[in-house]
Amino acid sequence: MADAQSRLHVDRQNPGSHAVGFTLVEVLITIAILSVGIVAVLTCFQRSLSALDRTKDRMCATELISSKFTELEQEMQRDETFIPVDGKGGAECAGRNFRWKQEVAQVAELADGSGDLLEINLTVWRKEQPDLRYCQSVYVRVEKKE
């Protein structure tokens, strides 16, 4: 009852009438609480958009790496004397510009002397974010040319 009476405000011009309403402090506190909730929801939304953006980058980088290794594998199957070399280039995926770099290093000579074991490291990054890189390595046996 006391709570209901606190919301009753006397109209000073008409002392016999009672108007029901909220005080300014109650309205301001409600607005502050709602503002905190809205900010929390918007922050979560922004973070989910950032996560979606990073996921798209990873998918494109993975697709590009897979494509480059497939090209390399096909070239090695077509030409048995093909030896991979260092290289670099660019590609576009989902409207994003990516750069790639291929590095080839001899890991070891095969024990029977018939060839070498090479490590091929492929690095992919967005042109706009060169500090965030995706890397994958494969090992390839290459026969020595006679």
At residue 37, the pLDDT reads 96
Q: How far apart are CA 144 and CA 92, in angstroms?
A: 36
**Domain span at 66:** 2-143
**Left (φ > 0), alpha (ψ -120 to 50) or beta: where does 94 sit?**
left
Number of domains in the chain: 1
pLDDT at 1 over 90: no
Residue 122 tokens read as 């492929």
Contacts made by residues 56-61, CB under 8 angstroms, sequence distance 24+: 56/94, 56/96, 57/96, 57/126, 57/129, 57/132, 58/134, 59/94, 60/93, 60/94, 60/96, 60/98, 61/98, 61/124, 61/125, 61/134
Q: Please tell me what DSSP assigns to residue 145.
A: P
CATH number at 21 reads 3.30.1300.30
At residue 39, the pLDDT reads 97
CB 26 within 8 A of CB 34: no
- Segment 3-43, tens digit of pLDDT: 544 555 555 566 555 667 889 999 999 999 999 999 999 99
At residue 143, the pLDDT reads 84
- Segment 83-122, tens digit of pLDDT: 899 999 999 998 999 999 999 999 999 888 888 999 999 9
At residue 18, the pLDDT reads 64
